């Protein structure tokens, strides 16, 4: 069975201090400035005035290699003419501007390896060669080589292999969240086949408890709850239908694109099944206050960016904070640009999940009337 197994990956960063007189390195010094300070308006999601700094050819519209004094990038960063870029947030520091100047004056070298940066998940899958190790008898698979190479670099010996009972308990808790029963322990200890562990893993992946365990993390991110919250905290008697859909999706090993599409627009699919409609319960997980006398100020709309339609309109779906009713947000023209910019800014602040980005949009009510809705927030 092919599954996405939960793997704990340790990302080991080696920070090397560059000498003060060394030339700026694009990947180390320049690209992080573009990603942090420029991508919001001139990156993969939004390209205001067609300018972008995630693509070498496009970026050269504002860069004159070898001549920082006449490069529009430096003029924008230093506020020539009284207009600073980026327009919001803190200005580039003197050190950041100095790095950009030095990089441009040296010819603005932009290596091919960084010519088309993007999300790690959109990069081509590569198969790096396992590193060589001294203790070649210890690795069982290629991943072990990476672990052992790091340990040997730190002069640390690997821990002794766990006994079979400990191994069974660990993998059972990892995959199902439940300890093994006495009968399961007895069966595994008695299984002397070479692939006994692989058979154990397959059995645990086939268990319905696998989905129950791993769905919890997505349900937490979706703010799943069986009640409304707030003072009344009224029960949501059918909330479990969405929860069960998520559990079943994990147990069926549903591809992530399908997992996302059905939650965002399952009711828009051709001949949607009841379960696909239940998947859009994703939008009903917001807190809802049905108490009498609540503030009648225009509600915020929690929206999910969903791409563009064939006629070029931006498609965004969401729910109002007051009613939780799913609504469709129809945007085009300047409003679409505002959503694009807002979404990009939201992406740039993922390290602060409590922060929202207010943008303007048009919302369609139950009667099909489209009217301005300036209370839209990404979360």
Percent of the chain with pLDDT over 70: 68
More confident residue, 100 or 15: 100
Q: Say yes or no to pLDDT of 301 above 80.
A: no
**Domain map of the chain by residue range?**
26-122, 127-159, 164-206, 211-284, 301-377
Give dist(CA 215, CA 263) in Å, integer: 14
**DSSP class of residue 55?**
S
* Mean pLDDT, the chain, whole residue set: 77
Give dist(CA 170, CA 209) in Å, integer: 15
User: Which pLDDT score, from 0 to 100, does residue 100 have?
Assistant: 94
Q: Say yes or no to pLDDT of 8 above 50.
A: no
Q: Percent helix, strand, coil in the chain (nearest 5)?
A: 45, 10, 45
Residues 6+ away with beta carbon under 8 Å from 273: none
Give dist(CA 266, CA 281) in Å, integer: 10
Give dist(CA 242, CA 276) in Å, integer: 10
pLDDT band at 21 (very low <50, low <70, confident <90, very high): low
Q: Is 54 left (phi over 0), alpha (psi -120 to 50) or beta?
A: alpha
Region 18-30 average pLDDT: 73
User: 159-193 pLDDT, tens per residue?
Assistant: 999 999 999 999 999 999 999 999 999 999 999 99
Residues 6+ away with beta carbon under 8 Å from 143: 130
User: 201-243 pLDDT, tens per residue?
Assistant: 999 999 999 999 999 999 999 999 999 888 788 888 899 999 9
Question: Are 378 and 305 contacting, i.e. CB atoms less than 8 angstroms apart?
Answer: yes
Give dist(CA 280, CA 265) in Å, integer: 7
User: Which pLDDT score, from 0 to 100, does residue 57 have?
Assistant: 85
Return the C-alpha torsion angle 295, 297, 302, 303, nearest 10.
160
Region 312-319 average pLDDT: 49
pLDDT band at 139 (very low <50, low <70, confident <90, very high): very high
Give dist(CA 294, CA 360) in Å, integer: 24
């Amino acid at each position: 069975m092919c599954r996405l197994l939960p793997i704990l990956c340790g990302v080991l960063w080696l920070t090397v201090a560059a000498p003060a007189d060394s030339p700026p390195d694009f990947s180390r010094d320049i690209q992080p400035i573009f990603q942090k300070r420029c991508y919001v308006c001139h990156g993969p999601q939004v390209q205001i005035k067609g300018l972008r700094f995630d693509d070498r050819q496009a970026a050269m519209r504002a860069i004159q290699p070898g001549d920082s004094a006449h490069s529009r990038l430096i003029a924008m960063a230093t506020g020539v003419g009284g207009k600073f870029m980026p327009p919001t947030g803190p200005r580039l520091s003197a050190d950041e501007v100095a790095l950009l100047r030095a990089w441009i004056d040296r010819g603005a070298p932009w290596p091919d390896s960084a010519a088309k940066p993007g999300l790690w998940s959109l990069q081509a899958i590569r198969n790096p060669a396992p590193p060589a190790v001294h203790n070649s008898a210890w690795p069982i698979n290629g991943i072990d080589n990476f672990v052992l190479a790091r340990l040997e670099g730190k002069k640390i010996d690997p821990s002794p292999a766990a006994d079979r009972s400990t191994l069974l308990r660990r993998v059972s808790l990892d995959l199902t969240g439940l300890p093994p029963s006495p009968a399961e322990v007895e069966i595994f200890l008695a299984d002397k086949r070479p692939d006994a562990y692989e058979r154990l893993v397959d059995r645990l992946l086939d268990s319905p408890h696998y989905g129950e365990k791993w769905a919890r993390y997505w349900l937490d991110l979706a703010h799943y709850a069986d009640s409304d919250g707030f003072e009344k905290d009224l029960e949501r008697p059918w909330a479990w239908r969405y929860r069960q859909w998520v559990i079943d999706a994990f147990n069926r090993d549903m591809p992530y694109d399908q997992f996302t599409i059905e939650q965002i627009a399952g009711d828009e699919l051709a001949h949607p099944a009841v379960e696909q409609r239940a998947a859009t319960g994703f939008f009903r997980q917001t807190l809802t206050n049905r108490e009498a006398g609540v503030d009648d100020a225009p509600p915020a709309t929690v929206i999910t960016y969903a791409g563009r339609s064939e006629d070029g309109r931006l498609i965004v779906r969401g729910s109002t904070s007051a009613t939780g009713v799913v609504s469709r947000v129809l945007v085009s023209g300047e409003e679409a640009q505002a959503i694009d910019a807002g979404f990009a800014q939201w992406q740039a602040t993922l390290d602060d999940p409590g922060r929202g980005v207010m943008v303007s949009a048009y919302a369609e009510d139950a009667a099909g009337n489209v009217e301005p809705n300036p209370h839209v927030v990404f979360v």
